[in-house]
Amino acid sequence: MRRGGLTAVLFALPALIVFGYFSWGPIVRGLIMSWQKVNFAADPSWVGWSNFAYVLSDPLLPQAVGNTLLFVALGLVIGFPVPLFLAVFMAELRKSKRLFNLLAYLPVVIPPVVAILLWKTFYDPGGTGLFNQILGFFGLGPLGWLNSTVLALPSMVIEATWAGAGATVIIYIAALTGVRSELYEVADLDGASIWSKIWNVTLPQIRGVIIIMVLLQIIGTMQVFAEPFLFTGGGPSNSTMTILLMIYNYAFVSQDFGAASALSTLLALALGVLSVAYFAATKRWSTE
């Protein structure tokens, strides 16, 4: 107070009010709606746990959860190493580094809906699809990418990796600039190979960033919506139905906003518990 703290609070108060209203306001409203029957055609009525019981008893929920977790797992196996590899590769470049940075970030600039619709033509199950044409050169295919219950979800993971890797690459490149050059010089004196330097020098030095990016990817992929909605609408045979797509169907297909809010609350709670457990499990490794 003596150092002018009250003045700083007064200057920040308008921004805090706007942020609270537009950010936390919908969150609080969503929590309230999860306990109500809401369809916006009549006044909301209090139903208590009924929305949660209805959502948890939905026979489609286990499959949606399983599909979402599979998307997360495939994203970690396929999508997570790609931006890290690209960042390490581009950090070693001496020429054309700006060009590679531009090419890596370009997919992020493309609007997600446009990118998905473009990839949908690539995945055309007929012989005219780009990927099937490529397979045709090797005497393979054609494959029914998005029409297959086995291939549909991995196909979406590949597109999501392409679309989101650019932003992650930029973050990793920024982290790599903080790695001390003398560590690489010592490794060179010891005769370390490039793979040995990456494993023993580069990765340990940016492990704090890697830990955060793993968590952010898990949270992001748990909330996947655009890809299954625009690619398949949850098909074929609900093989790409995800939790967020179920929330959308509750709200805008069934007009049951209470159930949609209840499932949203459960998802937020699960992600919150996961985040706390993840930070507790990685705290020691990240600070060593």
Q: In the predicted model, is pLDDT for residue 125 greater than 80?
A: yes
- In this structure, what token pair is assigned to residue 192? 């370390």
Mean pLDDT of 200-204: 84
**b (16+ CB within 10 A) / e for 197-210:** bbeebbeeebbebb
Mean pLDDT of 97-104: 81
Average per-residue pLDDT in the chain? 88
Tell me, what's the pLDDT at 85?
87
Q: In the predicted model, is pLDDT for residue 92 greater than 90?
A: no
Handedness of CA 173, 175, 181, 183 (dihedral sign): negative
**pTM score, whole prediction:** 0.88
Q: In the predicted model, is pLDDT for residue 287 greater than 80?
A: no
Q: In the predicted model, is pLDDT for residue 4 greater than 70?
A: no
Q: In the predicted model, is pLDDT for residue 151 greater than 90?
A: yes
| Banded model confidence at residue 270, pLDDT cuts 50, 70, 90 | very high
Q: Write the pLDDT tens digit of every residue in 45-84.
A: 899 899 999 999 999 999 999 999 999 999 999 888 888 8
Mean pLDDT of 137-149: 87
Q: In the predicted model, is pLDDT for residue 10 greater than 90?
A: no
DSSP assignments along 167-198, one per residue: HHHHHHHHHHTTS-HHHHHHHHHTT--HHHHI
